[in-house]
Structure 1
């Protein structure tokens, strides 16, 4: 109860517009164990506690899923190499399951003519029949035409999907406050001005953190300005070896998206910098992203 009364005081300051980074920090840290299954609140609390390195959570899972897809497409699609049903990569089951989990129902129905539940059943059956031959090659036992069609469908997409965005983070943050009696339903609108502050605080918190995957591969999180809309995002940067080009290929994809325009919340020096990979950032209670100096 003592902890909750302390947190309530911090929430009351936010309601009054008295925004302090230390209040956001303390709320994120303490709410991670009170999140009630709200992934973004738990995730940002863990980022606050472990800013240098992360090896679990929704961002780590998102990075792992994308790397799995990208490595496959780098080896096959982008290398003009066909997928041979009698010589599949060892992680083909993971590739198929990741892609299936990210394809929406409409695309699945359009490509297969089937509902998601039916496709999942067929995918489970296919994955259970993946075997390793005496020659070391992986293949599908007792394969059918349906297997071939499903394989073609699920290896035809490289899906870029962020872990979450500022809207989900703010909504789950507020819902967690309400569920723990730290905010009353009637006070929800009073926190609206905190949305942009929380969005940029999350950017600064995630920036330059290293994501370590189970296979040892790493990705570095970097804040950047989206070139299409000028919005601030956080991306994961990873390096892969391309056999086709005989060298490493670097790729960055978004893991956290905001609606914050760099033109409105960054100074000229930061906006004009080509990249922020080596720049330390911090957010201000006034809703700006600045260079730590």
Structure 2
């Protein structure tokens, strides 16, 4: 990275850390970090969303979104009056292995991720060649292949933590600046929501799936969901799944017109363009009627 570019980032960061927070500055910071985000996938992902928002076909959010789609698509096939064959279960098993956390795998199968992956691989090989599996191999295959698993791709806390690591590693902030960056965590999370809201990813079937922000969860945390739609039945079946979760309550971090009571929890999402207002809250972008 050139000296001039780094100086540009430092000045924007100084302004940001001193409380003058602008989404445009944070955009430039993420773009400047895209080539230096090794080991920090959340930061890389937001930088990629800022650079290219529509019909994304790679990246962390895309991979998790595709895996969630595969997981729910196979799991719900019988509910949608569709047949399920071995290859369907294999697709689901491979997706669910990537989605499940290490703790979930250990609790369900009593083994590490590495061991569970090895057993699943052997089970798939044997089933495809019509050979008998061992008990542990069959357990891994039935666990991963016959359920719906989902989890957010990353959280606001992970994003802020990674951003701090990269900025220090790049020499753009010092240790004394970390506390100020932590104070800005809410703005960083809301900025990430803006980067993803209204964008789309391409699913394994080639169809686009939109991402939208909202707070349709029991704690009313602001989140970004993917809208998965299945059209086999007489009416479309919509399955919104969270891919990015914050710990920011919509009642506090969104303007009153975006949080209207009472509303069913399943429709608490926003279909209007958003921005971060001067008060640090999400707000609908005003429409100029002039």
TM over 0.5: yes
Q: 1:129 to 1:265 in 2, by over 3 A?
A: same
Shift of 1:276: 4.3
Q: How many residues align?
A: 278
Question: After alignment, is 231-240 or 277-286 more displaced?
Answer: 277-286
Report the Cα distance in structure 2 between the residues aligned to 1:130 and 1:241, rounded to whole angstroms: 31
Other-structure match for 1:283: 276
Q: CA distance change for structure 1 residues 150 and 224 in 2, over 3 Å: closer, same or farther? A: same
Is the 8 Å Cα contact of residues 55 and 208 (structure 2) preserved in structure 1? no
1:235 aligned counterpart, secondary structure: strand
Q: 1:226 aligns with which of 216, 228, 234?
A: 216
Deviation at 1:24, TM superposition (A): 0.7
Between Structure 1 and Structure 2, the one with more strand by share is: 1
1:125 aligns with one of 116, 122, 146 = 122
Match of 1:134 in 2: none
> Which of 139, 147, 150 is 1:160 aligned to?
150
Alpha-carbon distance, 1:36 to partner: 2.3
Q: Distance between the aligned counterparts of 1:38 and 1:186, measured in 2?
A: 21
Q: Is the 8 A contact 2:89 2:146 kept in 1?
A: no
Question: Compared with structure 1, are the counterparts of its residues 97 and 261 closer, same or farther at alpha carbon in structure 2 (3 Å cutoff)?
Answer: same
Q: Does residue 31 of structure 2 align to residue 42 of structure 1? A: no
Assess if the C-alpha contact under 8 Å between 1:197 and 1:285 holds in 2. no
Corresponding residue number in structure 1 for 2:21:
19
1:1-293 alignment runs, 5 A limit: 1-76=3-78, 78=79, 87-88=85-86, 90-131=87-128, 140-146=129-135, 147-242=137-232, 245-272=233-260, 275-284=268-277, 286-293=279-286
Which is further off, 109-118 or 163-172? 109-118
Q: Distance in 1 between matches of 2:134 and 2:46?
A: 45
**TM-superposed deviation, 1:106:** 4.6
Q: TM-score, normalised by structure 1?
A: 0.86
Runs of at least 5 residues in structure 2 that lack an aligned partner in the other structure: none
> Does structure 2 conserve the Cα–Cα contact (< 8 Å) formed by 1:225 and 1:233?
yes
Please list the CA deviations of residues 201-238 of structure 1 after superposition, one character each: whole Å capped at 9, or x if unmatched: 11111111011134312211010113411211110001
Give the secondary-structure state (helix, strand or coil) at the position aligned to 2:224: strand
- Greater RCO (CA < 8 Å, at least 6 residues apart): 1
Root mean square deviation, CA, Å = 2.3
Taking structure 2 as the reference length, the TM-score comes to: 0.87
Instruction: After superposition, give the CA deviation of every residue in 1:144-190 in whole Å (9 maximum; x if it has no partner).
Output: 35244333222343112001110011111111111110000121002
